[in-house]
């Protein structure tokens, strides 16, 4: 029982096998892709493993504190940012192997030519919010 983030990148992940940009797909291929993603989330809800799924706009603004009484400084978006997150799915599964299996299935979403994209997805464990009630050795 652990949560994992399946992270999808606009940029920053290695190139997919079927790497055609989405705007060059046919409208039917786009619909098939969207349908696959929705079905995947529905299926995970039925297996009791779905937690959350969100997509992100590619445009973002960098913001930082600029000192007492001053408005925050904003910058960007930076076209050259190497790592750009497209969205995520959070799953709650029994094992790491299951998380990898599901990421593999998600990566098989159809793209250009109706063929799987073979997109690289990043699997990241979520850190738990609390430590177990038992004292673990590192606390001793």
Residue 41's SS3 state is helix
Q: Which of the ranges 10-18, 31-39, 45-53, 115-123 carries the binding residues for another protein, by CB under 8 A?
A: 45-53
Is residue 97 a contact residue for another protein (CB under 8 A)? no
Give the span between the Cα atoms of 115 and 93, in whole angstroms: 28
**Which two three-digit tokens encode residue 55?**
């997509």
Among 21, 27, 48, 67, binds another protein (CB under 8 A): 48
Q: Which of 15, 57, 79, 127 binds another protein (CB under 8 A)?
A: 127
In the complex, least distance from residue 110 CB atom to another protein, rounded to whole angstroms: 25
- Following CA atoms 29, 34, 35, 39 in sequence, which dihedral angle do they give, to the nearest 10 degrees? 140
Contact flag: residue 47 with another protein (CB under 8 A): yes
The Cα–Cα gap between 49 and 59 comes to 30
Q: Near another protein by CB under 8 A, which window of 46-54, 63-71, 100-108, 114-122?
A: 46-54
Contact status, residue 44 vs residue 50, Cβ threshold 8 Å: yes
Which residue of 46, 54, 64, 70 would you call a contact of another protein, by CB under 8 A? 46
Q: Which two tokens stand for residue 25?
A: 């797909």
Secondary structure letter of residue 90 according to DSSP: E
Task: State which of residues 25, 33, 50, 106 lies at the interface with another protein (CB under 8 A).
Answer: 50
Per CB under 8 A, does 54 bind another protein?
A: no
Question: Under a CB-based contact definition with an 8 Å cutoff, are residues 4 and 121 in contact?
Answer: no
State which residue, 26 or 47, has the beta carbon closest to another protein: 47
Q: Which residues bind another protein (CB under 8 A)?
A: 1, 3, 44-52, 92-94, 125, 127-140
């Amino acid at each position: 029982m652990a949560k994992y983030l399946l992270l999808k990148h606009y940029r920053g992940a290695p190139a997919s096998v079927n790497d055609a940009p989405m705007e060059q797909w046919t409208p039917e291929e786009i619909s098939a892709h969207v349908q696959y993603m929705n079905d995947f989330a529905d299926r995970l809800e039925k297996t009791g493993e779905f937690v959350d799924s969100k997509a992100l706009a590619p445009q973002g603004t960098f913001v930082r504190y600029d000192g007492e009484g001053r408005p925050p400084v904003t910058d960007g978006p930076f076209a050259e940012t190497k790592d750009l997150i497209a969205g995520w799915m959070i799953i709650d599964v029994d094992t790491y192997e299951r998380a990898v299996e599901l990421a593999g299935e998600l990566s098989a979403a159809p793209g250009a030519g109706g063929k799987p994209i073979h997109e690289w997805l990043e699997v990241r464990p979520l850190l738990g919010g609390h430590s177990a009630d038992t004292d673990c050795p590192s606390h001793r």
